[in-house]
């Protein structure tokens, strides 16, 4: 046995004192006592599965002044995330095999953590879905416009789902109806204007179209960054293959909060009311929402600190997502069972990866957490290029140690791993 990790581990829904045996990056045993070539005893610290972020925009290639895969994956690792899935609205956009293949090579040289790459389904490339599905980690569909995105008309949604069914890959959807968005366009001066320009009815319309078009489809369909109470209500009776995610910013921030400068908090879909936020938080706690996703979409301060109407949309969050909610679990604002489900187990199910659980046969992606070591989030201590966090000063608990496939990537908050260690997780 290569490594034995001892401590208070989260196994099958509860914590138990045990020893986790690891061979060649895979969990090989879970026993009361084990011996390995290396033995690490973490005492009463918590041993948890590492998180999986199914929704990041690491801007690589094409916009690497905002972020690249080395800084983005470094931030993910320090936040306890062992695997990330990158969205296709890069430059060039990931819409064909050549761009995808080039991206796999480029990112493979940079990533500290394991990674997947989505391909975008558009009105013009639907017929290529099966071919690119042999290599990509999943698909993304933008029903409504967002930063550097290509759209798919709702009239083509049913055809796209049929093609995805044949490709046997998950499809993630930005659910805002574009015709609805066009009807509500106004001059934006602040967050309230942005909310009015992208009202919840646009999310409702998109979700209704998704649910109708996906009837008798077997593939996994995931609705990204749910933002409204109306959207959540529609999804309460969804089919088993339809899941939904929510971001930390939609759970914790709202337009009523004193967020300054407001241009930094511009995001699609927009921050909504405190009522929406509270309903979403309850939905997350009670099991109606399947997973947390950061939608990490950084911009530089120079780009964001401009006139609101000219500011780009997107917030950073991959490094702070797990730590924020670890602190909330400590304070019993949600259970550890729910936290592990929404950030580890359900994301692993969506993308079909042998990660997300401390279980024999799965990748040894593990974090160690000392609940006594909470801290305040400080942008200067984070690792994204963008240089700021929407959660500056919020309490959080960052993991002390991070293991990816049994390799110690972080020890006592210090990076030991190297760029290029992360593997592409496609088919």
Alpha-carbon span 363 to 356, nearest angstrom: 8
Catalytic residue chosen out of the listed positions 177, 209, 295, 363 = 295
Active site residue 365: no
Q: Show Cβ contacts of residue 217 under 8 Å, excluding neighbours closer than 6 positions.
A: 161, 162, 164, 165, 241
Alpha-carbon span 182 to 76, nearest angstrom: 35
Closest CA to 21 of 42, 2, 41, 45: 2
Q: Which residue has the tokens 């974090």?
A: 367
Q: Cα–Cα distances in Å, from 204 out to 9, 49, 228, 285, 351?
A: 40, 34, 8, 22, 25
Q: Which residue has the tokens 């905002």?
A: 66
Other beta carbons within 10 Å of 109: 11
Q: Find the helix packing angle between 200-213 and 157-167, rounded to 10°.
A: 60
Largest CA distance in the chain: 65
* Contact between residue 346 and residue 243 where contact means Cβ atoms under 8 Å apart: yes
The sheet that has 171-174: what strands, in order across it?
Answer: 51-56, 81-86, 114-120, 138-142, 171-174, 221-223, 242-246, 291-292
Alpha-carbon span 75 to 73, nearest angstrom: 5
Indicate which residues carry an active-site annotation: 295
């Amino acid at each position: 046995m290569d490594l034995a990790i001892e401590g208070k581990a989260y196994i099958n829904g509860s914590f138990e004192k045990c020893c986790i045996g690891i061979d060649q990056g895979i969990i090989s045993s879970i026993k009361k006592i084990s011996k390995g070539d290396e033995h690490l005893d973490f005492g009463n610290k918590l041993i948890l599965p590492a998180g999986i972020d199914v929704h990041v925009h690491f801007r690589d290639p094409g916009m690497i002044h905002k972020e690249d895969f080395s800084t983005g994956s470094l931030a993910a690792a320090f936040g306890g995330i062992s695997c990330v899935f990158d969205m296709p609205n890069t430059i060039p956009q990931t819409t064909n095999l050549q761009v995808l293949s080039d991206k796999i090579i480029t990112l493979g040289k940079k990533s500290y953590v394991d990674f997947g790459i989505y391909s975008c389904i558009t009105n013009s490339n639907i017929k290529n879905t099966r071919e690119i599905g042999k290599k990509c980690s999943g698909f993304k569909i933008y029903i409504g416009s967002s930063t550097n995105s290509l759209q798919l008309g709702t009239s083509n949604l049913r055809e796209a789902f049929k093609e995805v069914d044949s490709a046997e890959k998950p499809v993630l959807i930005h659910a805002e109806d574009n015709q609805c968005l066009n009807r509500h366009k106004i001059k934006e001066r602040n967050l309230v204007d942005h909310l009015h320009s992208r009202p919840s009815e646009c999310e409702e319309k998109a979700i209704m179209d998704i649910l109708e078009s996906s009837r008798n489809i077997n593939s996994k369909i995931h609705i990204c960054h749910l933002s409204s109470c109306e959207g959540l209500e529609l999804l309460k009776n969804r089919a088993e293959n339809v899941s939904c995610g929510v971001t930390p910013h939609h759970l914790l921030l709202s337009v009523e909060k004193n967020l300054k400068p407001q241009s930094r908090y511009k995001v699609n879909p927009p921050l909504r009311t405190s009522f929406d936020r509270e309903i979403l938080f309850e939905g997350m706690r009670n099991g109606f929402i399947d997973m947390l996703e950061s939608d990490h979409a950084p911009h530089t301060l120079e780009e964001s600190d401009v006139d609101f109407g000219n500011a780009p949309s997107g917030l950073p969050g991959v490094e702070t997502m797990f730590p924020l909610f670890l602190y909330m679990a400590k304070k019993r604002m949600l259970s550890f069972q729910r936290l592990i489900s929404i950030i580890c187990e359900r994301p692993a199910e969506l993308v079909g990866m042998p990660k997300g659980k401390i279980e024999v046969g799965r990748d040894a992606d593990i974090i160690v957490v000392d609940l006594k070591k909470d801290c305040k989030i400080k942008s200067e201590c984070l690792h994204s290029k963008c240089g700021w966090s929407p959660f500056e000063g919020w309490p959080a608990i960052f993991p002390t140690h991070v293991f990816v496939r049994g390799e110690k990537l972080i020890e006592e908050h210090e990076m030991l791993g190297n760029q290029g260690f992360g593997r592409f997780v496609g088919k």
